[in-house]
Amino acid sequence: MSAGPGDRARAPEGPAQWHRVLTLLADVSLFIGTRSVWTQAATHQPVLAGAVSACYASILITGVLALTVRRTRSLARLDLVVLATAIVLALCAWALNHGGGDEAVLTTQAARELVAGHTVYDHPWPWLFHAKGVALTPTMAGGYDFTYGYPPLAPLLTVPLLWLGRGGTPATAVATGALIAGTVTLWRLLPMPWRSAATAVCLGFSFLPLYARQGYPAITGLALLLPVVVRWPRLGARGRLGAAGIARAACLGAACAAQQLPWFVAPFLLAGIYAVRRGELGARPAARVVLRVTGIAALTWLLINAYLVASEPGPWLEGVALPLTQGAVLHGQGLVDISLYFTHGSDRLDWYSHASALLAAALLALFVLFVRRLGPAATVLPWCAFYLATRSQDGYYLMMTPLWLAAAVTAPLPEFAHAWQPRPRSPAGPRRRAALFAAVAALVTPPLAGVVLAATGTPPLRMAVTAARHTSARSLSRLTLRVSNTGGVALTPHYMVTSGQGMSRYWARVRGPATLPAHTTATVVLRAPGGRFAVPAGRSARLRLRAFTADPQTLSTWEVRRADLDVRQPPG
C-alpha cells in the first residue's frame, strides 16, 4: 500500500545534505596517516593493529550510513561515532610513538626539576639532545638553545605523569590528553550539525595529533583557548560574566600560562569584546567588562606562575620571553625564504623581526578600526604576522586552526553588526573615506618597508671552498674556506653546511680568525660536527655553506659545487 500525500507531509524531515557531507569528510580525514600506524603496530603490537583495523571498519560503515540514514538524530549519533573512532586512532598512535621531540624532553625535564626543587629556567640540559629524534635549535650566536623557554603550566601538568617513564613520554601524554579533551569540548560546544568539523580539524588529517605526540605545550594552550573562542563576542553580554564567563576568562589566563602563542590572539579577543560590548552598553560598561575579563585572566596566569616568580624571578622572566629573544637561526615557510634560498643572505635580517612586530601592531589597529568586517577573523589575523618573522614555521599557523573553525561557526559577521568602530568626526563623506584609506596605508607601509629592507640586503661575507678533506667518497671531515668581509663592520661568523631545507649543526673552527675586520680576507679551516658530514648522493642535491652572525644579525650563503669538493685538503 503506497503512502498518500498526507503521509508524505507528516514524514520527518531528514538531515541537510551539507551535514551528511561534513560527517563524511570528517570520516574520510581519519584515513590520513592511519596506514602508517597500522604498519608500525602490525609488527610488534598486534593488539593495537587489531584496534586500528577495527577503526577501518568503523570508518567504512560510518561512510555508508552517513549517506543513507534518514533522521537527523541518527546522523548526530554517527558524528559521535566518528569522534570516538578518531580518539581511538589518536591513542593508538600515541601508544606507538610517545617518545616525543625536543619540546617533550624539555617539558619533562622541567617537571622533574620542579619535583626536585631545582631551578627550571636559564638552566641548560644539553644531554637531553643526544637522544634520537630530538632536534637542536641553533642560534645566530653559534650555539644551541638547551633551556626551557615556555610558561610553566605544561611542566606542572606533567608532574603527576612522571611515572610513565623517561624521555618525553609524560609530556606527550599531557599534550595528547589535552588535544583529546579540547576536541571533545569543542565538539560539545558547537551546534550539532557542525560537530564533525571539530573532529576533522582537531584529530583528522593527522597533523595536530602529530604535534601532540611531539609534546608541544602550544597544544595545551590550544585546548584551553577553545572554550574561550566559542561564541566569544557574547562574553560579558548585558554587562554580566556569570559563572561561565568567569571560567572562560580563567581559561584565557591558563592558556597564556601554557605557551606564548595565546599571547598573540588575546589582544584581538579583548579588543573585539570591548567593541561589541561598547556597541551594546556604552563605553564605561564595556570597559568594566573587559577589565573583569582581563583581571580574571591575569590572576589565573599569575597563580600558575606564582611559585616560579617567587623562587627564580630573573630566570623566569628570561625564560618566558626566550622565544622572542633567543636569536634562533632563520627557518620557516614565510618571506624569510627570500634570504634563505633566493638572494643568498642579507646583512639586514633584523628587519624581518621588526617588520613582523610592526605588522602585528598594524593588524590589531586595523581590527579595531574595522571590527564589523574583521571581527570573525580575530583568530586568524594574529598569525599573519609570523609570515614576516625570522621563524615563520607553519606550526605557528596550523596548531591554532581549530580556533578558526570555532570562530567561523559561532562568531559570524552578524555578531559584529553593531560593534563600535572608532571613526574621525570630521571630515565627512568622501573625505572621511580618504582619511580611513590614509590611516590604513600608514599602518601597512612600515611592515612592508621593513620586509623590503630585509629582503634587499646583501650577504656581507663572500666565501669559497678552496679544499676539502674526505673520510670516504660520500663524507667530509674538513673544509678550507677563503672568507672576505665586504661590509663596513667587524663580523664574527659561525659556519654550517646544509643539504636540505633545514638547518644542521655548526662546524667547529680549527684555524683562522674568529672575527673578520671590515674589508678583510682570511683563510678558515672548519671541522665537521662529529668529525663527519655525509654528502647526499645525486646531482640534484644541493650543498649550501652558510655563515651566521649575531651582532648584527646577518646570513651569507655559498652554493658548494661538486667540483669544489674534489680539491683535496692535505693532512695536518
- C-alpha count within 13 angstroms, C-beta hemisphere, residue 224: 30
**pLDDT tens digits, 181-190:** 999 999 999 9
pLDDT over threshold 50, residue 517: yes
> What are the phi and psi torsion angles at 476 (to 5°)?
-115, 150
Distance of CA 12 to the CA centre of its chain: 45
Query: For the segment 194-205, what is each residue's pLDDT rounded down to a tens digit?
Result: 999 999 999 999
Residues 506, 494 contacting (CB under 8 angstroms): yes
Give the DSSP H or E segment for 39: helix 34-44
Task: Check whether 538 has a pLDDT greater than 70.
Answer: no
400 in the same domain as 359: yes
pLDDT value of residue 1: 45
DSSP string, 295-313: HHHHHHHHHHHHHHHHH-H
pLDDT-based confidence at residue 14 (cuts at 50, 70, 90): confident
**pLDDT at position 106, please?**
96
d(CA 480, CA 526): 6
Instruction: Say whether both 191 and 295 belong to one domain.
Output: yes
Residue 24's DSSP bridge partners are none
CB 121 within 8 A of CB 316: yes
pLDDT attached to residue 539: 63
Residue that finishes a domain, picked among 359, 380, 415: 415
Q: How far apart are CA 298 and CA 255, in angstroms?
A: 11
455, part of any domain: no
The pLDDT score that the predictor gives to residue 427 is 63
Tell me: do 73 and 139 sit in the same domain.
no
The owner of cell 649575531 is: 550
Residue 572 belongs to a domain: no
Say what the alpha-carbon torsion angle 18, 24, 29, 32 is, to the nearest 10 degrees: -150
Report if residue 195 sits inside a domain: yes
Compute CA 77 distance to the chain's CA centroid, rounded to the nearest angstrom.
Answer: 33
Q: Are residues 388 and 469 in the same domain?
A: no
Q: If you average pLDDT over residues 78-85, what whole number do you get?
A: 98
Question: Cα separation of 203 and 29, whole Å?
Answer: 9
pLDDT at 433: 79
pLDDT reading at 541 higher than 70: no
**Domain span including residue 555:** 461-566
63 and 115 share one domain: no
Q: What is the pLDDT of residue 439?
A: 86
Tell me: do 201 and 329 sit in the same domain: yes
Burial of 453 per CB tally in 10 Å (0-12, 13-18, 19+):
middle
Q: Are residues 155 and 225 in the same domain?
A: yes
> Residue 331 pLDDT > 60, yes or no?
yes
Question: Do 264 and 313 fall within a single domain?
Answer: yes
Query: In sequence order, which residues have a C-beta less than 8 Å from that of residue 289 and are 6 or more positions away?
Result: 235, 236, 239, 241, 273, 274, 277, 281
Q: What does pTM read for this prediction?
A: 0.93
Please say which residue of 359, 386, 415 terminates a domain.
415
E-state strands within 271-427: 331-332, 345-346, 391-392
Q: What b-and-e string marks burial along 244-269, b requiring 16 or more CB atoms within 10 Å of the CB?
A: ebeebbbbbbbbbbbbbbbbbbbbbb
* Residue 430 falls inside a structural domain: no
- Does 85 share its domain with 125? no
The three cell numbers of residue 357 are 612586530
Percent of the chain with pLDDT over 90: 80
Q: What is the DSSP letter of 340?
A: I
Model confidence at 540: pLDDT above 90: no
Averaged confidence pLDDT in the chain: 92
454 occurs within a structural domain: no
Sign of the CA dihedral running 442, 444, 450, 453: negative
| Domain harbouring 504, CATH code | 2.60.40
Strands 508-511, 520-527: pairing is antiparallel
Question: Which of 172-186, 529-543, 558-572 has the largest mean confidence?
Answer: 172-186
| Higher-scoring residue by pLDDT: 117, 502 | 117
Give 214's DSSP letter: T
Mean pLDDT of 401-427: 91
The last residue of a domain, from among 32, 65, 96 = 96
Q: Which three cell numbers stand for residue 92?
A: 593508538
Number of domains in the chain: 3
Reported as a single tens digit per residue, the pLDDT across 296-323 is 999 999 999 999 999 999 999 999 998 8
Percent of the chain with pLDDT over 70: 95
Cβ–Cβ under 8 Å, residues 57 and 231: no
Is 448 contained in some domain?
Answer: no
Q: 135 pLDDT exceeds 90?
A: no
Average pLDDT over residues 49-72: 96
- CB-count exposure of residue 187 (10 Å: 0-12, 13-18, 19+): buried
- Cα separation, 315 vs 324, in Å, equals 15
Say which range, 8-17, 229-238, 344-353, has the weakest mean pLDDT. 8-17
Residue 434 domain-assigned? no
Answer whether residue 429 shows pLDDT above 70: no
Q: Are residues 277 and 136 in the same domain?
A: yes
User: What is the average per-residue pLDDT within 528-538?
Assistant: 84
Residue 520 resides in a domain: yes
pLDDT-derived band of residue 12, with 50, 70 and 90 as boundaries? Answer: low
Same structural domain, 92 and 115: no
| Whole-angstrom distance, CA of residue 149 vs CA of residue 391 | 15
Of 12-21, 26-35, 90-99, 220-229, least confident by mean pLDDT is 12-21
Tell me, what's the pLDDT at 536?
78
| pLDDT higher than 90, residue 121 | yes
203 and 149 co-located in one domain: yes
More confident residue, 482 or 561: 482
